């Protein structure tokens, strides 16, 4: 039975309220699909470079150790990109900046095929990282903007899971393409694909509701609202508003109007868990092999860990519809810390090590992927892109430090058990921050999404 058409003529309409009270429209599903596809690019690039690395040492005639700065340059670019493009999305327009990020990455991926040495390779990786850095904050914000209240968090988590799907697909494609067509072929694919995605987004992705409202485009906004909620017809002459409007520079507003405590807690949570995460991902095969496990079994355990991460993200997406969102994140990080402790006592048992590695991936990585999504809901709509971008930027400094700290401690002769016990400490700190954020947001008056239960702490 079709719902009757409801007209809103002169008067006022709150766009956020209209979206939150509705159901998943065709427009919302289109936004979710396009943003998920865009996120595949990020995961594809991260995985492909690890497969290409051994071939590059021969193709470019360089020592394997020199590839370390190449990996780091990409991470530094991604970190800066999260800072820069997250804020630009809230200020200049989310659709335009998202397309720009994809184009930057596409051009640099194609440019990588011309690299003839470490210096040029580092330069291309750094600039491509800048483009990649903006994808997560912009896609998560877009999905949160168009999906109804009860679907926002799961939809945002599904979007960020595109990273893991892209990583798995990138590894599979690279394993076939490199032997058949050479290392440049994967970067050609990595350049053409985001170019096509950027064209699709330019043609099919609707303009941000927030951007239209901020610029006063009444006619376009009225049509956009009807696309999201087909049962509502809005008179363009009506006063159309958002629940919260932007004023001032977005980054400074993360610390305005009582948001400073939540911003600090969110940044500490991201930095701490990503520090543990990248330490674990970078050194797990080495630690396992040092503990007496064969290298092939150690690599399989690392692969099982990534499978756990995907399942963890989807499990968290299902649970947050029933439970307090940030408490679920805190619980996930806490169990992840416990998994790292259990991993420290695995010894040379392959079965035990692989099982606990799966749990570590499920909770440490899977919960972080979910946290990338739910961080948007710690802020009102006009600050979401900036909030996610800066949280990711701060967190990715942990990604840079984690592998380095592990290497220094290994060089100092630390036992593998002590290394994993130490890695559990930041994950435990992240867990505490998740629960603190939950308490803060329950008392918040500027966050309308149901990311925390209505009861007090």
d(CA 134, CA 385): 9
Q: What are phi and psi of 426, to 5 degrees?
A: -60, -35
If asked whether residues 188 and 267 sit together in one domain, one would say: no
Tell me the pLDDT of the chain (457 aa) as tens digits.
434 444 444 345 566 666 766 678 888 899 999 999 999 888 888 767 766 766 777 777 766 656 667 777 888 888 888 888 888 887 788 899 999 999 999 999 999 888 877 888 889 989 998 998 889 889 988 888 888 877 887 888 888 888 878 876 776 777 778 788 888 898 899 899 999 999 999 999 988 877 777 766 666 777 777 667 666 666 656 565 555 554 445 678 888 888 899 999 999 999 999 999 888 877 777 777 777 887 677 767 777 887 888 888 888 877 876 778 889 999 999 999 999 999 888 877 888 888 998 999 899 988 998 888 888 888 887 788 888 888 988 988 888 888 778 777 877 888 878 888 998 999 999 999 999 999 988 877 666 554 554 444 5
d(CA 161, CA 155): 10
If asked whether residues 156 and 58 sit together in one domain, one would say: yes
Strands 12-14 and 6-8: unpaired
In a domain, 82, yes or no: yes
| Residue 220: half-sphere exposure toward Cβ, Cα within 13 Å | 12
* Residue carrying structure tokens 């200049």: 92
In a domain, 219, yes or no: no
Domain termination residue (choose one: 211, 237, 271): 211
Q: Tell me, what's the pLDDT at 1?
A: 40
If asked whether residues 179 and 282 sit together in one domain, one would say: no
In a domain, 163, yes or no: yes
Number of domains in the chain: 2
What's the CATH code of the domain at 342?
1.20.1250.20
In a domain, 447, yes or no: no
Q: How far apart are the first and last CA of the chain?
A: 43
Domain termination residue (choose one: 152, 184, 211): 211
Structure letter (DSSP) for residue 376: G
In a domain, 431, yes or no: yes
If asked whether residues 205 and 256 sit together in one domain, one would say: no
If asked whether residues 271 and 337 sit together in one domain, one would say: yes
If asked whether residues 403 and 294 sit together in one domain, one would say: yes
In a domain, 52, yes or no: yes
Sequence-distant (6+) residues with CB within 8 A of 41 are 102, 105, 132, 135, 166, 190, 193, 194, 197
* Domain limits for position 127: 15-211
In a domain, 4, yes or no: no
If asked whether residues 309 and 196 sit together in one domain, one would say: no
If asked whether residues 182 and 257 sit together in one domain, one would say: no
Integer-rounded Cα radius of gyration of the chain = 22
Q: Does residue 6 sit in helix, strand or coil?
A: strand
d(CA 388, CA 393): 8
Q: Tell me, what's the pLDDT at 29?
A: 92
Q: Tell me, what's the pLDDT at 265?
A: 95
Beta bridge partners of 7: 233
Q: Tell me, what's the pLDDT at 230?
A: 65
In a domain, 449, yes or no: no
- The H or E element spanning position 241 is strand 239-241
If asked whether residues 124 and 273 sit together in one domain, one would say: no
If asked whether residues 77 and 143 sit together in one domain, one would say: yes
d(CA 285, CA 377): 35
If asked whether residues 84 and 174 sit together in one domain, one would say: yes
Rounded to the nearest 10°, the torsion over CA 438, 442, 447, 451 is: 50
Q: Does residue 234 sit in helix, strand or coil?
A: strand
Token output for 227: 């696309």
Burial class (CB in 10 A: 0-12, 13-18, 19+), 411: exposed
If asked whether residues 189 and 282 sit together in one domain, one would say: no
Residue 164: closest CA among 375, 385, 370, 424: 370
């Amino acid at each position: 039975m079709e719902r009757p058409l409801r007209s809103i003529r002169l008067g006022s309409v709150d766009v956020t309220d209209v979206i939150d009270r509705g159901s998943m429209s065709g427009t919302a599903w289109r936004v979710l699909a396009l943003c998920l596809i865009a996120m595949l690019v990020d995961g594809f690039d991260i995985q492909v470079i690890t497969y290409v690395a051994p071939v590059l040492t021969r193709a470019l005639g360089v020592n394997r150790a020199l590839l370390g700065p190449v990996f780091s340059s990409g991470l530094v670019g991604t970190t800066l990109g999260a800072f820069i493009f997250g804020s630009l999305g809230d200020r200049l327009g989310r659709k335009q900046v998202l397309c720009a990020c994809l184009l930057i990455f596409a051009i640099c991926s194609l440019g990588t095929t011309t690299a003839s040495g470490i210096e040029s390779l580092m330069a291309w990786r750094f600039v491509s990282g800048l483009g990649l850095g903006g994808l997560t904050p912009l896609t998560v914000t877009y999905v949160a903007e168009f999906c109804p209240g009860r679907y926002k968090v799961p939809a945002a988590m599904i979007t960020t899971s595109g990273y893991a799907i892209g990583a798995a697909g990138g590894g599979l494609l690279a394993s076939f393409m490199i032997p058949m067509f050479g290392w440049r072929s994967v970067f050609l694919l990595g350049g053409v694909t985001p170019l096509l995605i950027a064209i699709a987004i330019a043609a099919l992705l609707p303009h941000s509701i927030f951007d239209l409202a901020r610029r006063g485009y009444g006619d376009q906004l009225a049509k956009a609202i009807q696309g999201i909620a087909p049962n509502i017809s809005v008179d363009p002459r009506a006063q159309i508003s958002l629940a919260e409007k932007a004023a001032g520079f977005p980054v400074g507003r993360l610390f305005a109007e009582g948001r400073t405590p939540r911003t600090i807690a969110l940044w500490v949570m991201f930095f701490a868990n990503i520090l543990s995460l990248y330490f674990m991902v970078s050194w797990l095969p080495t630690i396992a092999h040092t503990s007496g496990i064969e290298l092939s079994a150690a690599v399989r355990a690392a692969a099982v860990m990534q499978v756990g991460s995907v399942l963890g993200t989807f499990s968290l997406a299902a649970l947050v519809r029933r439970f307090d969102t940030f408490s679920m994140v805190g619980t996930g990080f806490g169990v992840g810390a416990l998994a790292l402790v259990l991993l420290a006592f695995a010894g040379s048992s392959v079965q035990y090590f692989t099982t606990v590695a799966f749990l570590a991936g499920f909770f440490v990585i899977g919960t972080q992927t979910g946290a990338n999504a739910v961080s948007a809901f710690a802020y009102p709509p006009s600050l979401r892109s900036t909030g996610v971008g800066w949280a990711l930027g701060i967190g990715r400094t942990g990604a840079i430090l984690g592998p380095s700290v592990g290497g220094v401690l290994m060089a100092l002769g630390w036992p593998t058990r002590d290394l994993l016990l130490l890695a559990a400490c930041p994950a435990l700190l992240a867990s505490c921050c998740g629960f603190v954020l939950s308490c803060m947001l329950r008392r918040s008056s500027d966050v309308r999404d149901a990311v925390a239960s209505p009861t007090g702490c």
